[in-house]
Structure 1
Amino acid sequence: MANVDLLWKALDSAIWEMSEAFKGLKDEDVWTRPDPRLLSVGELAAHTAYWEAMSFIGKDFESPLSVQVARYYTANEPEPFSLPMGAEAVYEEVKRVHEACKAAFAAEPHEFDDPSLHREGWTYGYVLIYQGFHVAYHTGQMYSVRHLMGHETADN
């Protein structure tokens, strides 16, 4: 269980790092794409929240960010989507999803090598490793989106 606990801490850190990408982000820019083929900060946040919820809770979890269109880039690249949520609300929802996933896992803990109930062919250890990478990767994209929009961001 020690490995799993450390991986949850790494994922906690990745979620916190995402908060830095939201600092100073104006509400009107959350769902703005700097290029038609580059997703907005809001779309990227929805994508990470969707997959964290799907990985630990499954499709029945309710969140405004957990929408089918957020599944993959190819699903929402052709047609941007947005929600009536500003920067603070989006990041708070990402955190809520994350905390719900942690609570679901704590209620029914699994070992590193246990098969995932929600990701076929994956173990819970791999799900945690991947989620840490996944959130960090898309947080980096959020910075790129903001830089392309001319924003000054946290020196992170």
Structure 2
Amino acid sequence: MSEIIDECLRRLDQSLGYLEQALGGLSEEQVWYRPRPKMNAIGNLCLHIAGSEYQHLVSGIGGRPFKRNRPDEFLTRSGYSPEELLGQLREVREESREVVRALTQDDLERGVTIRHTAEAGMNDYTWSIQKILIGATEHYSYHTGQIVYAAKLLQDTDRHLLNWKHYD
């Protein structure tokens, strides 16, 4: 396996670990809380990154059937507990890990077309597998940061969720 493949998997797994810590202390009501009506809840962001990871890594690179309803990721208002959301994220990760670990250095330059449904309002595009891996990892990390920050705002203590040293 190449260094870029190893590093993308490491960072995706690291972000999933952060999500496990962040969601572990939240109630179902908290994961669906929206500070304002047009803002996403933590639950929406979890559905979104699971859908995006599946679309790009499992379906796009892995060639497995496309199954994503992107608008529903943002329109959903409840119905999943923190444990169910984490279960979805873990399930997708296992599928994507299987796909990504099978890649070779030569695969990284191969172009793959990422398809979108009409209701997603996005155009299809073709990128190299390397660019898809980097983009998917960055996207996942970006939303992980949003989720961790929102979870900190919702928690009842001043405990640092990721156990990093912060100075008061």
Bigger Cα displacement from structure 2, 140-149 vs 24-33: 140-149
Greater percentage in strand = 2
Question: 2:22, 2:154 → 1: CA distance?
Answer: 13
- Runs of 4 or more, structure 1, over 6 Å off, are none
C-alpha RMSD of matched pairs (Å):
2.5
Q: Which runs of 5+ in 1 are unaligned?
A: none
Partner of 1:68: 70
Letter matched to residue 141 of structure 1: Q
Q: CA deviation at 1:147?
A: 4.1
Structure of larger gyration radius: 2
Match of 2:165 in 1: none
Structure 1 residues 35 and 6: alpha-carbon distance in aligned structure 2, compared to 1, 3 A threshold: same
Read off the aligned partner of 2:88 and give its amino acid letter: E
**Equivalent in the alignment of 1:138:** 143
The answer to whether the Cα contact below 8 Å between 2:31 and 2:41 also exists between their aligned partners in 1 is: yes
Report the residue type matching 2:58 in the other structure: I
With normalisation by structure 2, the TM-score equals 0.72
Could you tell me the TM-score, scaled by structure 1's length? 0.77
How far, CA to CA, are the matches of 1:149 and 1:155 in structure 2? 11
Deviation of residue 113 (structure 1)? 1.8
Cα contact 1:32–1:41 (8 A) shared by 2 = yes
Match of 1:112 among 74, 99, 108: 108
Identity %: 23
Deviation at 1:135, TM superposition (A): 1.3
Asked if the contact 2:25–2:155 (Cα under 8 Å) also holds between the matched residues in 1, the reply is: no
Structure 2 CA distance for partners of 1:68 and 1:154, relative to 1, 3 Å: same
**Ranges in structure 2 where 5+ consecutive residues have no aligned partner:** 116-124, 163-168
